[in-house]
Chain A
Amino acid sequence: GNSVTQMEGPVTLSEEAFLTINCTYTATGYPSLFWYVQYPGEGLQLLLKATKADDKGSNKGFEATYRKETTSFHLEKGSVQVSDSAVYFCALSNNAGGTSYGKLTFGQGTILTVHP
């Protein structure tokens, strides 16, 4: 079946530090990959996506590259801000065989705290 594994958290950084949150996946076929962010008391917001191997998704300074050879989709940002403090979720969508309609499989989430 499909699964997503995120790096253990939480992650604590100082403002302007470099961020990496690791994400690896297991899936048959060619899944689409996503990063979502959740701020306190809110739902999930789509941060970026990649739909095929070697695609790079980017948004608001965040980037992630779909690496099929390593089954990874690591999230990076060159200089974090206090406002980036949130929970980040890696997710995949895989409709191989037509059996996973409307289902995102999520990692466990990584709490990011950025200090001034």
Chain B
Amino acid sequence: KAGVTQTPRYLIKTRGQQVTLSCSPISGHRSVSWYQQTPGQGLQFLFEYFSETQRNKGNFPGRFSGRQFSNSRSEMNVSTLELGDSALYLCASSPEGHGAREQYFGPGTRLTVT
């Protein structure tokens, strides 16, 4: 079974621009979560989607948004990029919508904001 895929793997953007990152979960997984990883803050939860609905959201400004499609693929969007948005963005999928379950991570998208 194919793993979680994320595109693109690397991205360089300029302050003030916006960016869209894509995530395809493992086949059959309906829950997709997004995380931001930085050296200073570690791994921080952005949001989770299940059946096209955002069920949970972390403590990030409204510039960070996401959506999920009917095939469970998900995108996250960051508008008005700031230098501090430079990070590795990780997507993870889970096989179950309820309860505490393990998540399977993609390779991440490395975003650099200049």
Contacts and interface: CB of A to CB of B under 8 A. Distances in A.
Given A89-B43, A103-B48, A106-B43, A46 B58 contact: no
Interface residues of A, number: 26
A77 interface: no
Contacts of A49: 102
B1 interface: no
B48 A102 contact: yes
Interface in A26-47: 31-32, 34, 36, 42-46
Main DSSP-derived SS at the B contact region: strand
Interface string A89-112: 100011100011111111111000
A51 interface: yes
Contact of A93 (B35, B50, B58, B100): B100
Interface residues of B, number: 30
A21 to B, nearest CB: 15
B88 to A, nearest CB: 8
A43 B108 contact: yes
Given A43-B107, A102-B33, A95 B98 contact: yes
Contact of A95 (B35, B42, B49, B99): B99
Given A32-B100, A100-B56, A102-B33, A43 B105 contact: yes
A102 B94 contact: yes
Contact of B106 (A32, A43, A102): A43
B3 to A, nearest CB: 9
B55 A101 contact: yes
A99 B97 CA distance: 13
A101 B43 contact: no
B64 interface: no
Q: Which of A34, A49, A101, A108: most chain B CB closer than 10 A?
A: A101
Interface in B67-107: 90, 92, 94, 97-107
B96 to A, nearest CB: 10
B90 to A, nearest CB: 6
Interface of A: 31-32, 34, 36, 42-46, 49, 51, 89, 93-95, 99-109
